[in-house]
Amino acid sequence: MKIKIKDELKFSYILISPMVVLFILLGLIPIIYSIFISLLKWRINIPLPPKFIGLKNYFEAFNDIIFISSLFKTIYFVVIIVLGSIGLGLLFSILLNHKQIKAKMIFLAFSLIPWAIPRVSGGLMWKWIYDGNYGILNAILKQLNIIDSYKWWFMGSEWSALFLCAIVEIWRTSPFVGLMFYAGLQKIPEELYEAASIDGANNWQKFKFITIPQLNLIILAVSILVTTWALKTFDTVYVLTGGGPGYNTMITYMYVFHQAFKYLNIGYGSALAYIIVLIIIMTTTLYYKILIKNK
């Protein structure tokens, strides 16, 4: 028996070794190295050798106005995406879950297209729609007499520019969210709704007292996922605005990329990246706290 267990252990270690080696070589070593990098003044486009400066990069971040404002922009951006994706996903899944709606699989499959195409392609699609000279959004709004001349949408305030970027992210995230909710809805026993109908509940009451409590856990799990995705939005904003105009749509993740790979200031960039790690850990713990409280 002992030999068998030893055998099993050996077998399982052999099977997971490729992943473990990968994690160590390309995950653990880089992460330790990057802690070290974050303590250096290191610009790789300057021939000066890296200099150890302790925690100075981290302190500098809190005097960096662009970085601080990027944090607020990120919060705004993430909140819109989370609320928008969950709202639209919920609407889509509830509509689809109705017994008399046909061709559910077709709706589901086609709804996944925005999720499936590369973010860069999606970004270019929306950039063309938003375009200030020839965009179809301008054409439609002008036709409907909502605006009287073509507008450069991203040139307005930073909040409206970020909102436009967030719509693109909602466009690609909400189908996935909708699918998750749809799966959750199907697990809610039909009897609950029937009993409520007998008691004379209307649709809104059914939604509020049956659907939402039953979906609680999935809503939370999806919120965690969407929040981390939204925090790490890069491709879409890179294509739509590149963080501009000026620094208007410079969300934190984008700013880290700028520092590290545009200005090649990798010491400072690493320190900023760790602040994002901290934000992710904080938000995830917050969600888990809510989750445990709800259980």
Partner 1 sequence: MKVKKLEIKISYALLVLIMIFYLGPVFWIIITSVLPQELLTSVPLKVNFDQVTFDYYRRLFISYSFLMALKNSFVVTSITTILSIIIASFGAYVVTRFNFPGRNIFLFSGLSMQMGPAIVFLIPLFVILNKIKLIDTHIGLILVFLVFISPVAMWLLLGFFESVPKEIEEAAYIDGCNRFYTLIKIILPVVKPGIIAASIVVFISVWGDLLIPLIITIHKSTTLTVFSSSFSGIYEINYGGAAATSTLSALPTILLALFFRNYLIKGLIEGSIKG
Residue 55 binding partner 1, by CB under 8 A: no
56, 163, 193, 245: which one contacts partner 1 (CB under 8 A)? 245
The nearest distance, CB 161 to partner 1, in angstroms, is 12
Residue 213 binding partner 1, by CB under 8 A: no
Q: Is 222 left (phi over 0), alpha (psi -120 to 50) or beta?
A: alpha
57, 70, 111, 173: which one contacts partner 1 (CB under 8 A)? 111
Residue 105 makes CB contacts below 8 A (sequence gap 6+) with none
Stretch that binds partner 1, among 58-66, 76-84, 170-178, 207-215 (CB under 8 A): 170-178
Sites for partner 1 among residues 264-283 (CB under 8 A)? 266, 269-270, 273-274, 276-277, 280
Measure Cα distances from 223 to 179, 188, 226, 290 in Å: 14, 20, 5, 11
The nearest distance, CB 146 to partner 1, in angstroms, is 15
Residue 232 binding partner 1, by CB under 8 A: yes
Stretch that binds partner 1, among 59-67, 156-164, 191-199, 261-269 (CB under 8 A): 261-269
Residue 145 binding partner 1, by CB under 8 A: no
Stretch that binds partner 1, among 29-37, 59-67, 76-84, 189-197 (CB under 8 A): 29-37
Residue 182 makes CB contacts below 8 A (sequence gap 6+) with 92, 93, 96, 97, 108
Residue 194 binding partner 1, by CB under 8 A: no
- List the beta strands (DSSP E) in 50-183: 51-52
Number of other residues whose CB lies within 10 A of the CB of residue 152 = 14
Residue 156 binding partner 1, by CB under 8 A: no
* Secondary structure (DSSP) of 259-293: IIIIS-BHHHHHHHHHHHHHHHHHHHHHHHHHHHH
